[in-house]
Every structure is written in C-alpha cells, then in structure tokens.
Amino acid sequence: MNPHLPEDDAPSLWRGQAVPPLQPLPPEQLAEQATKLQRSISRRNRRETVVAVLVAPVFLLYAWVFPHWLTKLGALLCVAGLGVLLWQLHRRASARPLPEALAGSLLGFHRSELARQRDALRAAWLWYVAPLVPGMTLFLCGRQIEIGVWQPGVFVFVALVTGGVVLLNLYAAHRLQRQIDKLDPLTREDNP
C-alpha cells in the first residue's frame, strides 16, 4: 500500500470513481414530478386547514353552550385567532423560494435559507401564539366566573407554557443568527 496519498491525488481518485453519470429524464416525466410536488405541498396545507376546521366548531359550540359573555367572547376570539393563524400559515407556505433561487451562489442561498428560518422562528410568537392569547385568556376568565372558583394557577401554567415556547423559538433564532454572522465575513476580501 502506498504509505502517503498526496492531497493532489485525491481529486483524480474522486473523478475516477465508478459512478454512472446522470442521464436526462424526459420532459413529460419532469413536468409530472413538478405537478406531484405541487400536489404534496397543497395536501400538507390542506391538512393544516382540516385541523383548524375541526377545532373551530368546538369553540363555536362553547360560545353557544357556556352562559357567561366572557366565555362566549373568548371562544369566538379563539375561532378568529385560528383564522389568523391559518392565513399566516398559507401566506408563509406560499412564500417558498422560486426554483431560480437555487442557482444563486452557495453562500447566498445558504444564508437566505438560514435567514428565512430565523425570521420564521423570531415571528413565531406573533403568528402562532399571539392570535390565540386574547381568546384563551377571556375564555379561561369566563369559565372561572361560571364555576365560581378563582384559580390563578391555570393562568400561570398557560403563561409559562406560552413563554417557554416563545423563548425556545427565540433561542433557536439566535443560534441561526450566529451561523449567519459566521458566513458574512466569508464574502469579504480582507477577512479570510
């Protein structure tokens, strides 16, 4: 065995490997794949709609059944909050990068993907959590008035879970930002 593989031999080793080259696929097959991909994205979006559509009637029923106006208002606000959440999900899902974006420089594409994920995480509290907070708060207040027992622990628990989710998302966004910060100097000539 050759005791030393010079690093310059690695490219010839790499290029000499027996891997069959890619062969072009017929355009019809590619068009069909593109349609399938689009369908699977639409299916995923529909699943989220179905979940919201199943949950919304439960809150509408609460608004009908429970007597106190705060509970009714809270339940209706929860339905409205679900609507906002769903709209945001669809808006963000449709903001997928165009296929041409894949032809951007590796650094640019990598950075934009990280930035997209970071922004989604930073804004998660606004579009996942915030729309449901007013409705849930009023609903819980109304229920406690109805049963005549004041249980602040419920609010503390909900606030802790909500705060925890928000903090975890912000921490993940911070970690992504650190990765972005490491990429930026790589485009500068003065900073190898």
Partner 1 sequence: MTVTTPQDQLYRQAIAAHGAELARCCHGYERDPALRQELQQELHLALWQSLAGFRGDCSLRTWVYRVAHNVGTRHVQQHAGKGQMLELDEIVELADERHDPGHTERRLDLQRVLALVHRLAPLDRELMLLYLEELDAASIADITGLSARNVATKIHRIKALLASQMNAMRSPR
Regarding 17 and contact with partner 1 (CB under 8 A), the answer is: yes
Amino acid at 110: H
Give the position of tokens 């997209």: 116
94 binds partner 1 (CB under 8 A): no
**Span of 51-59, 72-80, 140-148, 184-192 interacting with partner 1 by CB under 8 A:** 184-192
22 near partner 1, judged by CB under 8 A = yes
Q: Decide if residue 13 touches partner 1 (CB under 8 A).
A: yes
- Check binding of 108 to partner 1 (CB under 8 A): yes
With CB under 8 A as the rule, give the number of residues binding partner 1: 48
Q: Which is nearer to partner 1, 5 or 161 (CB)?
A: 5
State which residue, 15 or 153, has the beta carbon closest to partner 1.
Answer: 15
Under rule CB under 8 A, which residues in 110-129 are in contact with partner 1?
110, 113
Q: Which residues have a Cβ under 8 Å from the Cβ of 134 and sit 6 or more positions away?
A: 74, 77, 81
42 part of the interface to partner 1, by CB under 8 A: no
Closest to partner 1 by CB, 31 vs 147, is: 31
User: Residues 64, 98, 149, 181: which binds partner 1 (CB under 8 A)?
Assistant: 98
SS (H, E, C) the chain: CCCCCCCCHHHHHHHCCCCCCCCCCCHHHHHHHHHHHHHHHHHHHHHHHHHHHHHHHHHHHHHHHCCCHHHHHHHHHHHHHHHHHHHHHHHHHCCCCCHHHHHCCHHHHHHHHHHHHHHHHHHHHHHHHHHHHHHHHHHHHHHHHHHCCCCHHHHHHHHHHHHHHHHHHHHHHHHHHHHHHHHHHHHCCCCC
Residue span 53-92 as binding mask against partner 1, x where in contact by CB under 8 A, dash where not: ----------------------------------------
47 touches partner 1 by CB under 8 A: no
